[in-house]
Structure 1
């Protein structure tokens, strides 16, 4: 009898899916035909990460699932796989699904309650994805992460190897933060950041951030009808002149917003990944955008040298918008990837964005210049002016530069600038005793010597230098 009931539930669920799914509109049918033409033209297979927020998967007011959007995502991912691409989904929604299952109207503030709700919802969310993908004969795998899972370099590599093996098997990895165990000290903060770290982890070619607007705008298009679309960002670190990015989370069930997407785009582009912001209810546009970037998009750097005026930036948008219209490509925002010369290597990305900092080491500017030199020196104790906060050996700390007084102490009247991160071979207590000394004195002061370096070169990372 239980078996008969479970079969009945499965058929009822499938009926609900196809009842809620809208009939294909002429527009959707047109894009389906276009995607078939794109499939015949594709010349290269890419690794694509698609991130969906809770507001794209769950109705904000009723907490009911948006099965029609999920079904369109499944169709798109299946089509991308048939084109030869490898696809990873980063899916929020565990807490939102749990709220619906337990009939709780609002997300509670107490951490233990949120974690319990996530435990209920995460199973239901992955079951929903499994049910939908199974209709196309696709297998999925759930991967739940916190920062604790990638704190060590071998853990980071293991996570990468697992995802790559799943992709090689033809399985679709579905990644989410492990909200059941995550606390503020080890959480990624939002799944936009998690999606960028996942994309860098596997060396993805594209990161698609799906949201409730079709692209970035100069202002909130819901409240400002004169807001202009931003369709091309050559270098995010150089700013977005004339763009208001102050909006927070767009829904009660989400934790992100446009600001978190800009952070994710910055992380991913620094790792050499093209990042695209686009509307979540039209995922069938993804193949067309990939095709456009591969075959038609050309960016001429002299036309926009960076640090330009607001007018120059907006003129760049108008020119790219004209290209999108010419090639019949839907609105989206492209954040261009750093070239190979300037993108972060895997270990550098891990140190800068995968680890949690526990303190700071302050060095002088001359020492900083030596670390940036072509011979890429390691960090020695005589470069250190001051040590801040408490940390253990091989923990990650911020690397900052300050002004050294003739006495060797830090000049507190001068500004201090954070320039990178290091994994220290010594604890903060040990380093406080040997700071400013040559490496030969380490043993005399401590009675032992772990290393002649405070940090080996492989454990030092800086943001891309332009």
Structure 2
């Protein structure tokens, strides 16, 4: 029995020109996911579209630019979106459940574990949970950014086997297929290189349409040992073919950090939002990245940001390349005093009693692949 998270985007749900819902796609999606559920698969759907549907119902010609405007549109659209899903799945006798999450739900450790338990129970009861970001209360600075990231985080949360991203193209191409006739579909990706990310972030329709966020989602999912596939949303029946092993769309076979990271380390890596950066010397980088060691203050060469003890920080080399994240044991002001000093000097510098702490303990950090 496999566990899969399916994410469908606004471009697959509605017509870009008119804003009308693609009812055939919605019907095919409901039929496909219900069939999989009846076969014993555990299925969770992450769906966009609430803001777009809300705008259509309110008669808005453009998507609101303000946070309050988007939240109002989402408040109108979310209920409509769920009613549509309930009609399609209900006609097939398949129960569904609405789950709205915010970034804060995953940042708080207790709420993170609570969300995991709730989703697990819903799957056990045979429902198909339909997850969306709670746009009505999410603040701009603490948004997931897009539902690709949300779907990857949810896939890790429930330890899914598959993350299937349904979009408006057949998969990841070597170039923009709308502009380059020589562009070809890439059936499998084993590494997301910086050049591939830069290409996807370009100003072409292919890049700005969300492919870069899907690459990031694949990397997040790989941390949890989840296999990601990008495929065309207009043919949701392809999900069955993917699970059967057929080469459909683009499949990502990425290796996470030393296998599947623990739930706690995945929460550290992607559930929290970094508030600072520690730049390390070459010896510290090697010790943390390859040696599985804790970070000592002696290896820190520069500090960026203002943060308190317990905050999440990025760890970078001297070139600024991030290779890990972790929970820091000192505030930024304390680290500014003790960086570069050995452990025996720390107590005297900070006028503290007891043995010195590591800057970031190895149990509280995750190293990227």
After TM superposition, the score normalised by the length of structure 2 is 0.91
The answer on 1:389 being equivalent to 2:305 is yes
Q: Deviations over 1:126-161 (max 9, x none)?
A: 121122211122221222222211113333222222
State which structure, 1 or 2, has the greater radius of gyration over its C-alpha atoms. Answer: 1
Change (3 A) 1:47 1:382: same
d(CA) in 2 for partners of 1:77, 1:449: 59
| 2:266 counterpart residue number | 349
Quote the residue 1:158 is aligned against: 114
Q: Look up the match of 1:372.
A: 289
- 1:248–1:275: structure 2 CA closer, same or farther, 3 Å change rule? farther
Q: Post-superposition shift, 1:256?
A: 4.8
- Deviation, 1:98, is 0.4
Give the total of aligned pairs: 368
Contact 1:398 1:418 in 2 (8 A): yes
Please name the residue that 1:398 is paired with.
314
> Is the contact made by 1:218 and 1:244 (CA closer than 8 Å) also made in structure 2?
no
Structure 1 gap segments, 5+ residues each: 1-44, 294-323, 325-330, 403-414
User: Does the CA-based 8 Å contact 1:442-1:449 persist in structure 2?
Assistant: no
Question: 1:236 is paired with a residue of what secondary structure?
Answer: coil
Aligned with 1:427 (options 331, 341, 346): 331
Query: Equivalent of 1:231, from 174, 187, 202?
Result: 187
Root mean square deviation of aligned Cα: 2.5
Contact 2:257 2:368 in 1 (8 A): no
* Superposed displacement of residue 382, structure 1: 2.3
**Per-residue CA shift, 1:258-277, capped at 9, x if unaligned?**
22212212222343211111
Classify the secondary structure of the residue corresponding to 1:167.
helix
Matched, 1:281 2:186: no
Q: Give ranges in structure 2 of 5+ residues lacking alignment.
A: none
Residues 449 and 334 from structure 1, CA distance in 2 versus in 1: closer, same or farther, beyond 3 angstroms? farther
Q: Distance in 2 between matches of 1:270 and 1:239?
A: 21
The structure 2 residue matched to 1:147, chosen from 100, 103, 108, is 103
- Does the 8 Å CA contact 1:216/1:333 hold for their aligned counterparts? yes
Which residue is equivalent to 2:277? 360
- Ranges of 4+ aligned residues in structure 1 off by more than 4 Å: 238-245, 247-251
Q: In structure 2, how many angstroms separate the alpha carbons of the residues matched to 1:267 and 1:392?
A: 26
The corresponding residue for 2:7 is: 51
Please report the TM-score for the alignment, with normalisation by the length of structure 1: 0.73
Change (3 A) 1:220 1:153: same
> Once the 2 structures are TM-superposed, how far is the Cα of residue 87 of structure 1 from its aligned partner?
0.5
251, 272, 282: which is aligned to 1:334? 251
1:437 corresponds in structure 2 to 341
For residues 242 and 193 of structure 1, what CA distance do their matches in structure 2 show?
A: 18
CA deviations on 1:401-447 (whole Å, 9 max, x unpaired) are: 33xxxxxxxxxxxx343221111122111221222333344443334
SS in 1 for 2:360: coil
In the TM superposition, 1:57-456 aligns within 5 A as 57-237=13-193, 240=196, 246=202, 256-292=209-245, 324=247, 331-338=248-255, 341-374=258-291, 376-402=292-318, 415-448=319-352, 452-456=357-361
Q: What is the distance in 2 between the residues matched to 1:113 and 1:241? A: 31
- Give CA deviations for 1:301-323 in whole Å, capped at 9, x if unaligned: xxxxxxxxxxxxxxxxxxxxxxx
> Is the contact made by 1:248 and 1:257 (CA closer than 8 Å) also made in structure 2?
no
Shift, 1:373, TM fit: 4.8
Deviation of the 1:358 alpha carbon: 0.8
Contact preservation (8 Å) 2:176, 2:205: no
Is contact 2:289–2:323 with CA below 8 Å preserved after alignment? no
Structure-2 change in CA distance of 1:449 and 1:214 (3 Å) = farther
